[in-house]
Amino acid sequence: MSASTERKLRQAARAAGTDKKMLAAQEAAQKKKKSQIRWTLGTIAVVLLIALIFFLDSGVLYTRTTALTVGDKNYSPAEVSYYYGNEYHTMVNQYGSYISLFGLDTRSGISGLDKQDCPMLENGTWRDYFLQSAEENIKQVKALTDYAKQNGISLSEDEIAAIDAEIAQLADYAKTAGYASADNLLAANYGNGVTTSVVRQAYLDSALASKVYSEIYNGLSYTADELEAEYQSYNGEQDLFGFMFYYIAAVVEEGEEAPSDVAKVEAHADADAVYMAYADGTDIEDVEERFAVAVDSQFEGQTPTTRSGVAGSSLSAVYKEWLMDTERKAGDAAVFDDESGSWVVVFLSRDDNHYATANIRHILVKAEASEDGTYSDEAKAAAKARAEELLAEFQAGDKSEESFATMANLYSEDSGSNTNGGLYENVARGQMVKEFDAFLFEGHKPGDTGIVYGESSGYAGYHVMYYVGEGKQYSDMLAENSLRSSAMQSWVEEATAPYEVTVGSALRRVG
């Protein structure tokens, strides 16, 4: 091998060796670069995942997106969820254990409403039902708050403070209910994103809307002739009726679903016998006693049913027309038949509500309840003695209404009136417990006082009474309330008519 050839081979070998090293270095560099790229992509994915978690946890999807647009305002899913949840909870609280009769299963709370058909909608779920109610409520609140801004109506500092006090109480309630915070409580019961700030604003808006409604409602007025014409247009539906009846069911034979014609005739004959015994018993002057004796004469040991204060609108169709006849007199009696038996009915009274209501101040002294919730004679006696002391203290002073009001604020245990001097205005018959009611309508004059016993499901005790005077005529109150409600319904419809509701893509997140 020549020297030149060997030299070329060595050069080639060196070149080849150098190329391998370079190739190896290049390959290593490429591997490292790919690894860096994979690590960078993985890091980016982790960062994005963490960002997504923080994004979802921040509630942005529920507070910064649009579920509804009403007029010029966008409402987030959280804001709509509060109104939606409020409609649900209001209905559940209103009907309690009877809510299942509406076909609503509350065991899964708000979260299960989209899986339950609502019988009040032709084709829809309970979620649809409460969303519709929430949308209508939001639209009304928006219309009325806009009216408030345009007409210079605003909440006072005291009204705002009262709302803030309610919001502050949520924290204590949440702790009692086992939640870490008020926000957690609200989210669990109303939906994601619902916080105290969301609820506070809803409270403020609703309070302002209510203030507008009240100002307009209270500003409506009607003449005496207008009120009387309105009441007469009810054609006795608001009048109160007193009557007695005894019902004789026609016998249904075994295996049959309804009584036979023969059984109906027999029931009618029995009813006629009671009627004749009543008609023949004119030697008994008291109508109620006479009817009781007539029933007992045909059905030994049985007694009739007495009803009082029944509105015409609530009377059974079986005897309604007869009872509402303007010619009807106390003691009139008649027999009526329906598909399952016969009735003997005796008319007692009719009240057309043309009487003056009463204005009264009182101081309630409750008897102390025993551990089992009952009231001993000793506890009642102690309450009576305290009531007598308070009445004596009042009578030892100037005996003015103002001094009685001061004492009521100091001593009364009636939370419904011990901040306004114990005052109840325009009290209608039957509104208060029996003894209280009797005092109001037994012919007192302004300034008369007395002590009456009262007992209800919530207390037993004595009322120190101060008769202020007559209130409005009750028939006028019924008519006025009806006229105002009708006028306000028209006003709200007109106020909300320009407001369109547009559904946003985030509505699916409500609840």
> 3-state SS of 243-279?
EEEEEEECCCCCCCCCCCHHHHHHHHHHHHHHHHHHH
What amino acid is encoded at 52 in this protein? L
Is residue 38 predicted with pLDDT exceeding 80?
no
pLDDT in tens, 275-323: 999 999 999 999 999 999 999 999 999 999 999 999 999 999 999 999 9
pLDDT at res. 85: 95
Paired residues of 465 in beta bridges? 362, 450
Q: How confident is the model at residue 11 (pLDDT cuts 50, 70, 90)?
A: low
Mean of pLDDT values over 185-196: 94
Closest CA to 189 of 120, 96, 92: 92
Q: How many Å apart are CA 435 and CA 465, to the nearest integer?
A: 11
Q: For strand 356-366 and strand 341-351, is the pairing parallel, antiparallel, or unpaired?
A: unpaired
Is residue 54 predicted with pLDDT exceeding 90?
no
Closest CA to 218 of 33, 480, 11, 427: 480
Q: Which residues contact 159 (CB under 8 A, 6 or more apart)?
A: 207, 211
pLDDT at res. 255: 87
Q: How confident is the model at residue 78 (pLDDT cuts 50, 70, 90)?
A: very high
pLDDT at res. 37: 52
Dihedral of the alpha carbons of 383, 389, 391, 394, in degrees to the nearest 10: -140
State the SS3 of 200-226: HHHHHHHHHHHHHHHHHHHHCCCCHHH
Mean of per-residue pLDDT scores for the chain: 91
Q: How confident is the model at residue 485 (pLDDT cuts 50, 70, 90)?
A: very high
Closest CA to 77 of 438, 445, 511, 459: 511
CATH class, range 356-477: alpha beta
Q: How confident is the model at residue 328 (pLDDT cuts 50, 70, 90)?
A: very high
> pTM of the full predicted structure?
0.77
Mean of pLDDT values over 40-46: 51
Is residue 501 predicted with pLDDT exceeding 60?
yes
Q: How confident is the model at residue 48 (pLDDT cuts 50, 70, 90)?
A: very low
CB-based contact 364:350 (threshold 8 Å): no
Least confident of 95-109, 373-387, 415-429: 95-109
pLDDT at res. 60: 84
Fold: same for 242-351 and 356-477: yes
pLDDT at res. 154: 97
Q: How many Å apart are CA 80 and CA 201, to the nearest integer?
A: 12
Q: How many Å apart are CA 489 and CA 496, to the nearest integer?
A: 11
Q: Which long-range contacts (CB under 8 A, 24 or more apart) does 445-452 make?
A: 447/399, 447/401, 449/391, 449/394, 449/395, 451/384, 451/387, 451/388, 451/391
What amino acid is encoded at 300 in this protein? E
Q: How many Å apart are CA 196 and CA 272, to the nearest integer?
A: 68
pLDDT in tens, 113-160: 999 999 999 999 999 999 999 999 999 999 999 999 999 999 999 999
Is residue 436 predicted with pLDDT exceeding 60?
yes
Q: How many Å apart are CA 401 and CA 403, to the nearest integer?
A: 6
pLDDT at res. 489: 96
Is residue 50 predicted with pLDDT exceeding 80?
no
**CB atoms closer than 10 angstroms to residue 501:** 16
Is residue 45 predicted with pLDDT exceeding 90?
no
pLDDT in tens, 82-91: 999 999 999 9
Tokens of 179: 């939640």
- DSSP one-letter code for 125: B
**CB atoms closer than 10 angstroms to residue 230:** 19
pLDDT at res. 70: 96
pLDDT at res. 111: 87
Q: How many Å apart are CA 25 and CA 21, to the nearest integer?
A: 6
Domain ranges of the chain: 1-57, 68-219, 242-351, 356-477
pLDDT at res. 47: 43
CATH assignment, 242-351: 3.10.50
Mean of pLDDT values over 193-219: 97
Tokens of 241: 């009726």
- Residue the block writes with tokens 């050839």: 5
CB-based contact 88:208 (threshold 8 Å): no
Tokens of 417: 């009136």
Q: Which residue has the higher pLDDT, 426 or 112?
A: 426
pLDDT at res. 55: 44
Burial of 188 (0-12, 13-18, 19+ CB in 10 A): middle
Is residue 399 predicted with pLDDT exceeding 90?
yes
3-state class of 312 per DSSP?
A: helix
Closest CA to 248 of 161, 137, 335, 350: 335
Is residue 18 predicted with pLDDT exceeding 70?
no
pLDDT at res. 19: 53
